Amino acid sequence: MIEEQQKELEDILAELAENLDITETQDKVIRQSYEAVGNFLAEDGSLLAQYDVEIWPQGSFNLGTIIKPVNEGDDLDIDLVCELKSKEKDWTQHDVKSNVGKRLKQSDLYRKMLDDEGRRCWTLLYRDNAQSTTDKYHMDILPSIVGGGYHTIVRDMFSAKELKESDFDKAAIRITDNKKDDYYISTFPATWLKSNPFGYAKWFELRQQQLKPITRTFANEDVKPLPNKRRLKTVLQRVVQLLKRHRDIMYNGRDDKNDKPISIIITTLAAEAYKGESNMVIAFRNVVNTMTDYIEEREINGRTIKYIANPVNKAENFADKWSENPQRQKNFYEWVNKLKHDMNLISGSKTRILLESNIKDSFGKDVTERTFSRLAEKTHKDRENGNLKMKTTGVLSAIGGTIVATNHNFYGSETDE
Amino acid sequence: MSKPLSLYTQADMLRRAYHGCEIKISRVCLTWRYNMHPSEWSQSYTVKIRYCRNNKGRWVPSTYINFPRLLPLAEGQNRLPHVYNHEAQEICLYDWREHEWDASMSIAETIVPWASEWLYNYEAWVMTGQWYGGGHYPESEIKKETDKEENK
């Protein structure tokens, strides 16, 4: 792949990744939906009002790495944290979880949308009010307890330039888990399961390095949408989107798709492997080639297991399921091998038509066709605006070329003359 | 129309702009052949332009894709888009009804980049089945009318 080809491939992959973004409308609808939930939980008369309850997005929606599902009609998955700043002294995990559920069921709307109770979450299924089948989504609401002064802690964390694990740890929250022995017993959140979605988000932000930091504000209002991050995507966010999409295409329709590599592992390893490259093709290639280097091996109870540490809580192994379910480990390595293979196939494409076909096989037919049509539309627009140039080799581009392609109209007959 | 450029001027401009091109010139015709690719990833195409007088005595450039000899088609299509002659792979680059091209214009700066643009859009058409380059298709009725005009 010569340098000019690499540049063109970067434009193609950037356009592709942009086409994986959820639409602005979807983004808006989702924000409105979780704000509405947050308001309902916190409003006067709510049984949770006195605990200063708030809803915040976490996971890929918050990290800016969310992608459209492969199949139209498949659900978007939105992860939310439901924070209680305090609780009754005698409340157990079960009380926290069921009081959030109880409040949700007080709404005619949410009662109908509520899915079966999950292990740690309540899930709201957005169906009837979706504008089309492509607008289906569900929201996983994670009840949690945060310490006093939590907002100050998170705000300070987000303004920091560098952080130690112990700094991240201050932003940890406590969550409930109905499979835990003390679910009905323990009233001390300090002994409950720990989670740190905002610490993770900050860590991910720091990994994006060299790029303009994205400003985030945590305000005092009950629910404040984060600034719209669309179109401000960093190279790392785009790389993660491409990786997740490649995984989704690889596992689409497979029997073992429940054992496909999970997003948190992909995101963590990609962020570890990312070295601040500003070129997406180089970044992607580097991440693909080195991401497995960040998987550790640890001796636990006399067994060697794979360990992918949560960067903000090293005691948590994101790959903890691999030892009980070896298929997952196997699938992960299989996926990375296929990524390497596909990346080489793409870089080695002999023609642009074959390049498109190879990208299609890796990232999906519809999104690839949309990508190449959008690029062709841009080229056409550039020419109409007098910005299209041509190098003497014939290569067209809006930048770098000597011969300007003036306006004209392709003509021709539908039958031979 | 400004002053027409002579065959020799056209040939000279083509030669200077496109190194390694092949030019044949006679009193009545100019033939130019060149290998070009519309994007960094594209394969190389051989484009041939024949610049001769037509039967109405007008100087007209005809553009062909000489290589590959059989351009692949988009799925489900049986004919190339925007061509005068599918078999000969003679492509249509401008709307002659609108006098978008005349002999005062440099072939090197118009027809050649337009040919590259045709190739670019042809590739996108193979990939997606759609033509993104804009332009027109004559409806047969309109065409007969304008043909009559041309023949007057």
Per-residue CA distances from A366 to A72, A75, A249, A308, A373 (Å): 10, 17, 11, 33, 11
The answer to whether A351 contacts chain B (CB < 8 Å) is yes
Q: Tell me, what's the pLDDT at A140?
A: 97
Higher pLDDT, B139 or A189: A189
**Does residue B128 lie within any of the structural domains?**
yes
pLDDT band at A414 (very low <50, low <70, confident <90, very high): low
Q: Is A241 left (phi over 0), alpha (psi -120 to 50) or beta?
A: alpha
Q: Tell me, what's the pLDDT at B27?
A: 87
Q: What are A109-160's pLDDT values in tens digits? A: 999 999 999 999 999 999 855 555 557 899 999 999 998 788 888 888 888 8
Distance from CA of A273 to the nearest CA of B (A): 28
Q: What are A253-301's pLDDT values in tens digits? A: 999 989 999 999 999 999 999 999 989 999 999 999 999 999 999 998 8
B61 contact residues in A (CB cutoff 8 A): none
**CB-nearest partner of A396 from B96, B117, B138:** B117
Residues B128, B123: Cα–Cα separation, whole Å:
9
Kindly state the percentage of chain A with pLDDT values over 70.
92
pLDDT band at A223 (very low <50, low <70, confident <90, very high): very low
Q: Tell me, what's the pLDDT at A164?
A: 86
Q: B119: closest CA among A97, A352, A305, A54?
A: A352
Residue-number span of the structural domain to which B111 is assigned: 7-151
A412 contact residues in B (CB cutoff 8 A): 81-84, 91-92, 135, 137-138
Q: Domains in chain B: how many in total?
A: 1
Select A22-231's CATH number: 3.20.20.10, 3.30.460.10, 3.20.20.70, 3.30.70.1450: 3.30.460.10
Please, are residues A34 and A139 in contact by the beta-carbon 8 Å criterion?
A: yes
**Does residue B2 lie within any of the structural domains?**
no
The answer to whether A380 contacts chain B (CB < 8 Å) is yes
**Does residue B133 lie within any of the structural domains?**
yes
Q: Tell me, what's the pLDDT at A133?
A: 53
ipTM at complex level: 0.89
**Does residue B112 lie within any of the structural domains?**
yes
**Does residue B33 lie within any of the structural domains?**
yes
Contact yes or no for A392 and B17 at CB 8 A = yes
Residue with tokens 């439901």: A82
Q: What are A27-77's pLDDT values in tens digits? A: 999 999 999 999 999 999 999 999 999 999 999 999 999 999 998 888 899
Q: Tell me, what's the pLDDT at A158?
A: 85
Q: ∠ CA A168-A59-A319 to the nearest 5 degrees?
A: 75
Q: Span A223-238, mean pLDDT?
A: 63
Q: Tell me, what's the pLDDT at A128?
A: 58
**Does residue B1 lie within any of the structural domains?**
no
CATH number at residue B120: 3.10.110
Distance from CA of A354 to the nearest CA of B (A): 9
Identify the closest residue of chain B to A367 by CA–CA distance.
Answer: B128
Higher pLDDT, A393 or B99: A393
> What residues contact residue A260 under an 8 Å CB cut-off, 6+ apart?
A247, A248, A250, A251, A254, A331, A335
Residue with tokens 């214009």: B105
Runs of H (alpha helix) within A122-228: 150-159, 165-169, 197-207
The identity of residue A231, as a single letter, is R
The answer to whether B76 contacts chain A (CB < 8 Å) is no
Interface of B with A in 17-46 (CB under 8 A): 17-19, 36-43, 45
Q: Tell me, what's the pLDDT at B145?
A: 42
**Does residue B130 lie within any of the structural domains?**
yes
Q: Which two tokens mark A394?
A: 């014939």
DSSP characters over A199-215: HHHHHHHHHTTTSPPPP
Say whether pLDDT at A322 is over 60.
Answer: yes
Domain range list for chain A: 1-21+233-417, 22-231
Q: Tell me, what's the pLDDT at A215?
A: 40
Q: Spell out the long-range contacts of A35-43 with Cβ–Cβ below 8 A and sequence spacing 24 or more.
A: A35/A223, A35/A225, A37/A80, A37/A104, A37/A110, A37/A124, A37/A139, A37/A141, A38/A222, A38/A223, A39/A222, A39/A223, A40/A103, A40/A104, A40/A107, A40/A110, A41/A82, A41/A100, A41/A103, A41/A104, A42/A222, A42/A223
Q: Tell me, what's the pLDDT at A138?
A: 93
A383 contact residues in B (CB cutoff 8 A): 117
What rounded mean pLDDT belongs to chain A?
Answer: 90
